[in-house]
Structure 1
Amino acid sequence: MPHKLKFFCDFDGTITKNDVWVNSLARFIQDKEAFNLVCDDFASNFITARECINRELELVENFSFDKFNSYLDKEELDDYFFEFMDYCKEKNYEIFLLSEGLDYYIDYILSKYGIKLKRFCNNLITEKINGKITLKAEFPFSDENCTYCGMSKRNILINNTNDLYGEISILIGDGVSDFCASNYADIVFAKGKLASYCWKNNITYFEYNNFNDILKKIQKLEAMKRIKVRQTASMLRRDVFLGG
């Protein structure tokens, strides 16, 4: 049975060149010391992703959609992402966008580039109080059994990978929000903090700088017939289905 590849891609700093949250949204945060403290608390596992996101949004001041959009207009995609998408379309491979970020800026950037992808992320909720816009997030793809993640990339990957049909899950990421899912993916492309996590936890991964690196490696693995299910990941996926 020929394998069907399914790509599960992070957004900030993976599909985009920059971390959009830090590069654009955090411009509205004046108290950088408080912002850095929240980031440090999250990195040290003192708070969950949900707490981190909403605490950071509480720090936003003088928010304006017009100004935010002007920042988003300057955000760029990886130089080779369109080439990667074309290859996936040609081979009938699916791409899922998984992000701990917010729907508003993800949809804005995708629309700017005319891209339509299956995307799973958190929702930005706005409210106007005394003439000021306040922000908070909702988490439609959280896992009730996981208090850490805001958006369970693991669940999306597992629910969209069918071992019986020869489907191979490929995770592409760079950060903390990709840690959990990397244990359940058959193939992992990693950089930054995700690469460090995989190395420390004995998860086989391919390091990359851009989507050209990923595309070349996939084509090479296909030519060598080296794409296959990672048994450890398959067993973990099965355990989740069985409630383990």
Structure 2
Amino acid sequence: MSARKPSVIFCDFDGTITLSDNIVAIMKHFDPPGWQGIVDQVLSKKVSVRKGVGDMFALLPSSLREEIVSYSIHNAVIRDGFSDFIDYCKLNDIKLLVTSGGIDFFVYPLLAPFDIKAENIYCNSSSFDGETIEILWPHPCDEHCHNECGMCKTTIIRSYDSEQYKRILIGDSVTDFAGAQLVETIFARSHLIGLCDELGLPFTPFETFFDIIDRLEQMNYND
């Protein structure tokens, strides 16, 4: 009998680990002129995620740093079951990577209470040194991706060969769509459900991380 391939999970952050999209929440709260049109362009794939996110934060002055960081951390809600899900992954030797299109100033503080190694968290960075907020991109697209993702989830997924790993994606939006086309198992909610339906990609819907744990248990028993 051949050895089982280890599983690796690529888990989105905004709207997945958290109940709502933190970038959109920031924009709604501080309401800089023009942000809604940029969001619409990103969701309709008229502009890249990298351009859209960069343009949105460029609408906000760096002088609001403390208010923006405080709002981000204190108003985000973690989805039910996330802590149990982390424990489940550890217990079953599943590698959990947080692959986030979010920004460091809220991703790291919100994940700090959980036992996730820093090297397993991928997100965008930020600079408040200029007049307006600048988003930095430490995880760009590789030569196989031309989507200008900003934080390129497909680049990370490709670093885990399908011949060696069972690859699982958990996500909710357009930023997860390209990655969903590469993995073997998809857990989807919100916009990602419609995008998967368009291409006929099989997926499991979820509302809480308890739903995901239950399905992973079923998959394990069926192996």
Q: How far, CA to CA, are the matches of 1:222 and 1:63 in structure 2?
A: 50
**Residue 24 of structure 1: SS of its match in structure 2?**
helix
> Partner of 1:193 in structure 2?
191
**Residue 133 of structure 2: SS of its match in structure 1?**
strand
| Count of residues paired in the alignment | 216
In the TM superposition, 1:125-140 aligns within 5 A as 125-129=127-131, 134-140=132-138
Q: How far, CA to CA, are the matches of 1:62 and 1:15 in structure 2?
A: 27
**Could you tell me how far 1:144 is from its partner in structure 2?**
5.1
Tell me the TM-score normalized by structure 2. 0.90
**Could you tell me how far 1:172 is from its partner in structure 2?**
0.1
> Partner of 2:200 in structure 1?
202
Alignment-mate amino acid for residue 151 of structure 1: M
> Partner of 1:142 in structure 2?
140
**Could you tell me how far 1:46 is from its partner in structure 2?**
2.4
In the TM superposition, 1:19-34 aligns within 5 A as 19-24=21-26, 26-31=28-33, 34=34
CA change 1:201–1:63 in 2 (3 A) is farther
> Partner of 2:69 in structure 1?
69
Tell me the TM-score normalized by structure 1. 0.82
Q: How far, CA to CA, are the matches of 2:115 and 2:19 in structure 1?
A: 16
Q: How far, CA to CA, are the matches of 1:114 and 1:203 in structure 2?
A: 31
Alignment-mate amino acid for residue 100 of structure 1: G
**Residue 64 of structure 1: SS of its match in structure 2?**
helix
> Partner of 1:81 in structure 2?
82
Q: How far, CA to CA, are the matches of 1:60 and 1:115 in structure 2?
A: 32
**Could you tell me how far 1:16 is from its partner in structure 2?**
1.0
Structure of higher CA gyration radius: 1
> Partner of 2:94 in structure 1?
93
Q: Which runs of 4+ in 1 moved over 6 A?
A: none
**Could you tell me how far 1:29 is from its partner in structure 2?**
2.9
For structure 2, list consecutive stretches of 5 or more residues without a partner in the other structure. none
Q: Deviations over 1:23-53 (max 9, x none)?
A: 235422332xx11111122223322111101
Identical residues among aligned pairs (%): 25
CA RMSD of aligned residues (A): 1.8
